[in-house]
Structure 1
Amino acid sequence: MTTPPPRIRTVAGVTLLLLVGSLALFWPGIAMYDSVGQFAQVLSGAYEDWHPPAMARMWSLFHAAAGGTSEPMFAVQMALYWAGFGLVAATLARLGRGRAAAVVLAIGALPLFLGWQAVVLKDTQMLGAVLAACGAVAWWRLRGARVPVWALIVVAMLLAYATLVRANAVFATVPLAVMLFGTGRWWTRLALGLAGVAAVLMAAPILNHGLLGATSSGVERTEALYDLAGIAVRPPDTAIGFTPGEAQALRAGHCAKPYFWDPLGEETRCAPLVARLQGRPAGQLYRLLVTAIIRHPLAYAAHRLAHFNSTERFLVPAGWPGAAPPARSEPNDLGLGNPGAVARGWQIAARWMAETSLGWPIAWLTLAIIGLAVAVPRPVGAARDLALALLVSAVSLEASFGVLSIASDLRYHLWPMVGTALAMVLLWVDRRWSARALRLGGLALALVLAGGLMARLTLPTPPTSYRALLQ
């Protein structure tokens, strides 16, 4: 059924109001520590790869063309964000799904999601680009139309930028592209996805250091060092690469934390203990890590599960840090400013929301797995296929954190959370939920929520300052 054009115009008008309101509320955007470092590279013209240089290079183009500080990047990521939500909502409205369209826009306006999108970061740049790409595909696919070539080029450019702007984005963007545009049975798509991920991982250093002109910061060693230290501090005698004395000092200094890698870079305490390994080539470190995993699989599993629990915010105390978006920019002398008082009030609401189950990545991962169980048996259809692509992308990125992750910030999970929310709306549009799926899925989600709630009620309050987290 075709919805009259006025309904589409209504959705477009509401989306435009939400975009303008978001820009006005958070102008000129919020800059975190990472943002300040990247803008400093823009001003100096010297780029490094600790943060993927694609964002800093893009920022430099905007800065050269329009001047300013964070404003152009903030405007672009917010425009992409609302373009994605608006295109999905408008298409659903056109198909007569007005309530679903309203829910899609409401998801975009949730304080936690919108509050984070106001922060100029690689994570929010990725989220905006992937959302806009999915919105463009939805505009045609949900209506049963073929995506025109020019739109496919735009989608490809958006997904390419999203892939380059975050080091681990490949685990979301490649599966998404394969599910949207790949053909054949599931094992064909799996092989294509794995080949695509491997190709991007091999090409990324060439692009970063060659095309984008970034110098090496040693960031490629951090995962290996984090995992080697995590294995070494788990007795008995699991240290590979570290001397027994170094392993004991790592343990005594609390250098290997499930929450993040940062203590290992602490100059006065832990950095000297890893300096010898830090000087080795990355390939040698990863070969050493493989040896450590083979010899001490239980220690490695314990280390990775502890971090996965931390980054998924499952069995953690209330107030687990790194969840709420900041209300003000990191202090700086580069001219990166702050939004007004109303924005600070919004971020307080976002902080409250982050403490609920809506701010737990583990809850969204559980919901995504439930969604997959519902979507896979369904017959091929536009809404089902798009939902399946979103869910595969979300679960793939979340699964990657089990082996490739060194920090627990909530912002790393923004795309899986938002993608899962959109997928559930698309599955709701079909309205074919089996009673068995509802019972089993509801039970699984209830168990996860109960476990998370019990942990938050019983575990001691964590430190809140960065300096305290390092200790």
Structure 2
Amino acid sequence: MTRVSLHARVALAAALLCALVLLFFWPGVAMYDSVAQYQQVVSGSYYDWHPPAMARLWSLFHGIGWTGQAPMFVLQIGLYWLGLGLIAAALAREGKRIAAIAVLALGLWPPFLGWQAAVLKDAQMAAALLAATGIIGWRRLTGQKPRPIDLVAAVLLLVYATLVRANAVFAAAPLAAGLFVPWTWRRWPVRLGLIAAGTLAVLAVSPSINHHLLRADASGVEATQPIFDMAGIAHRAGPDAAPLLPRAVWAQAEALHCSSSVLWDPYSSGERCGFVQDALDGTSPHAIFAGWTGAIRAHPGAYAAHRIAHWNATMRWFVPWHFPLSIPEAGSEPNDLGLGSPAKAAEPFDKFAGWLANGPLGAPILALAAALAVLALARPASSAAHALAVPLALSAAALETSFLLVSISSDWRYHLWSMLAAWLAAILLLTRPLPRRAARIALTLVLLVGASEFAARLLLPAVGDNYEDLVGAPHGA
């Protein structure tokens, strides 16, 4: 009887896990954003509030009669386990049995699985980046050169990931730089400069791609970041600090306690403080941008305090144990589009996943600390695993750092890719011995971050997990 190789057994295990996840969460969870995107698919009318690449891809399945969220659910779960399975199988083939098992275990961590089951752009992005990493990583880790078909597949996945979230380029650019050209620390400033230039170029052309190539109408989404930041500045520096809107508007917002470090949503039209966004109706994007940057220049201290407070919230560093927007939804948003929900068994699973996500091990700040430790310790010239770990850690660190400037909400799901990438990089790092002194220092710093957030969770009063409490009742209700 022929003995099945270890890497084949690992690949089979990944395939079985993929099938089990599909069965357990079938047909996937359609959250509010999912329903909004599917409405575009059904109506054939697209707009850019959510990047239209996902809705356009969804429409291809809808066009051949595969309706509902199931096709996108199958896509993101399949790509998720393809990436993890290829990396785990490659490690197993090279004799790294424990690392291979750790990669599969990482994919099973309940917060990752719970959020990956939601048909959202965050899960699509994470799955596409994982699959691209797995396709190239299989070749690199097993000492092979990627074939042209591997490169084409990875490029398509990276392009899709970049288009499917507005901020995905901060993660995709550093990852691509290390996948297609194996990472070395030689001339690293040049490589980082190219990554920065590529990121700016993508940010510049993305609106044209969305509006012209993907034919999505403008929705005014570009105003959300300025509104969030100007509101934070006005809250800290006074109602005259953001003169794009009349003083009375900011004074009313202050009287209604509109300012929040957690999320932008209270300012959305129809919500409690929607009058702020409504007051900008008819204002040109150029004027909004000028008012935003002018307020930042005039009050840099207030802007910095606002951004740091938000970054702390979204990174879940000094926050209480129960913090909003962490628990994955077990059921779909009520809808009349035929988008169903998983079986009731998903409910206790997702509650447990939310408990873990709220805890110190689920904090993005801990994953960022791990990514920085990988960057400090990895020696890519000595190991293919380390050469793959560096772009993963750099991708995670770049995305998490970008939230200092570009972020309007503290949803846990926004960190799905960066946390996966950081811990995957850590597994790859540990496949070979590390310098003891440097490793002890790095581990101590990571543990200090973990201890500080754990203390905050024990000492700070709970905020609650309810989204409606954060947004509040509509103004005038």
- Alignment partners' CA distance in 2, 1:388 and 1:189: 13
Shift of the 12–66 alpha-carbon distance from structure 1 to 2, 3 Å rule, reads farther
Q: Is residue 320–residue 460 contact of structure 2 (8 Å, CA) maintained in 1?
A: yes
**What letter matches 2:445 in structure 1?**
A
Is the CA contact (8 Å cut-off) linking 2:35 and 2:335 kept in structure 1?
A: yes
Instruction: Tell me the residue number matched to 2:242.
Output: 239
Shift of 1:277: 3.0
1:348 positional shift: 2.4
What residue number does 1:249 align with?
252
Equivalents in 2 of 1:293, 1:51: separation in Å?
26
Following superposition, the deviation at residue 235 of structure 1 comes to: 2.7
1:288 Cα deviation from its structure 2 partner: 2.1
- Please say if residues 115 and 123 of structure 2, whose CA atoms lie closer than 8 Å, have aligned partners that are also in contact: yes
* Letter in structure 2 aligned against 1:361: P
Maintained 8 Å contact 2:86/2:135 = yes
Letter in 2 for 1:117: Q
- Distance of 1:180 and 1:278 partners within structure 2: 44
CA contact (8 A) 2:380 2:390 kept: no
Q: Which residue is equivalent to 1:209?
A: 211
Structure 1: state its 5+ residue gaps: none
Question: Contact (CA 8 Å) 2:272, 2:471: kept in 1 or not?
Answer: no
Residue in structure 2 matched with residue 309 of structure 1 by the alignment: 312
Displacement of 1:5: 5.8
Aligned to 1:418: 420
Quote the residue 1:64 is aligned against.
63
Partner deviation per Cα, 1:274-294 (whole Å, 9 max, x = no partner): 433343222322222222222
8 Å Cα contact 2:237-2:299 kept in structure 1: no
1:427 is displaced (CA, Å) by: 0.6
Contact 1:232 1:240 in 2 (8 A): no
**Cα distance in 2 between the residues matched to 1:457 and 1:279:** 47
Deviation at 1:64, TM superposition (A): 1.3
Deviation of residue 380 (structure 1)? Answer: 4.4
Amino acid at match of 1:145: Q
% of aligned pairs identical? Answer: 47
Decide whether the 8 Å contact of 2:169 with 2:199 is kept in 1.
Answer: yes
Contact 1:256 1:264 (8 Å CA) reproduced: no
Matches within 5 A, 1:12-27: 12-27=11-26
Q: Is 1:346 aligned to 2:349, yes or no?
A: yes
CA distance in 2, matches of 1:267, 1:248: 19
Gap regions ≥5 residues in structure 2: 473-477
The CA distance in 2 between the partners of 1:179 and 1:318, in whole Å, is: 36
| 1:347 Cα offset (Å) | 1.4
Residues in 1 aligned to 2:382 and 2:294: alpha-carbon distance in whole angstroms: 44
Give yes or no for the alignment of 1:467 onto 2:468.
yes
TM-score w.r.t. length of structure 1: 0.95
Does the CA-based 8 Å contact 1:225-1:277 persist in structure 2? no
Taking structure 2 as the reference length, the TM-score comes to: 0.94
Partner residue of 2:267? Answer: 264
2:321 aligned partner: 318
Q: Which residue of 2 aligns with 1:455?
A: 456
Give the direction of change, closer, same or farther, for the CA distance of 1:111–1:139 in structure 2 (3 Å limit).
same
Question: Cα deviations across residues 58-78 of structure 1 (Å, max 9, x unaligned)?
Answer: 111011124220111100110
Query: What aligned pairs does 1:25-36 form with structure 2 within 5 A after superposition?
Result: 25-36=24-35
After TM superposition, give the deviation of residue 225 of structure 1 in Å: 1.4
Asked whether the equivalents of residues 228 and 240 of structure 1 are also in contact (C-alpha less than 8 Å), the reply is no
Structure 1 residues 263-272 or 219-228, which shifts more?
263-272
1:333-385 deviation digits (Å, cap 9, x = unpaired): 1111111122223212212211222211011111111111111x564431111
SS state at 2:236 partner = coil
Alpha-carbon offset, residue 200 of structure 1: 0.9
**Could you tell which deviates more after superposition, 458-467 or 133-142?**
458-467
Bigger shift: 48-57 or 350-359? 350-359
> Which residue in 2 is equivalent to 1:156?
155
Using the TM superposition, give the Cα deviation of residue 130 of structure 1 relative to its aligned residue in structure 2, in angstroms: 0.4
> How many Å separate the matches in 1 of 2:92 and 2:66?
39
State how far apart, in whole Å, the 1-side matches of 2:78 and 2:65 are.
17
2:289 aligned partner: 286
Of residues 194, 197, 206, the one that matches 1:195 is 197
RMSD: 1.6
Q: Secondary structure at the match of 2:345?
A: helix
| CA deviation after TM superposition for structure 1 residue 13, in Å | 1.3
Q: 1:91 and 2:90 equivalent?
A: yes
Give the structure 2 partner of residue 332 of structure 1. 335
Aligned mates of 1:285, 1:244 — CA distance in 2: 16
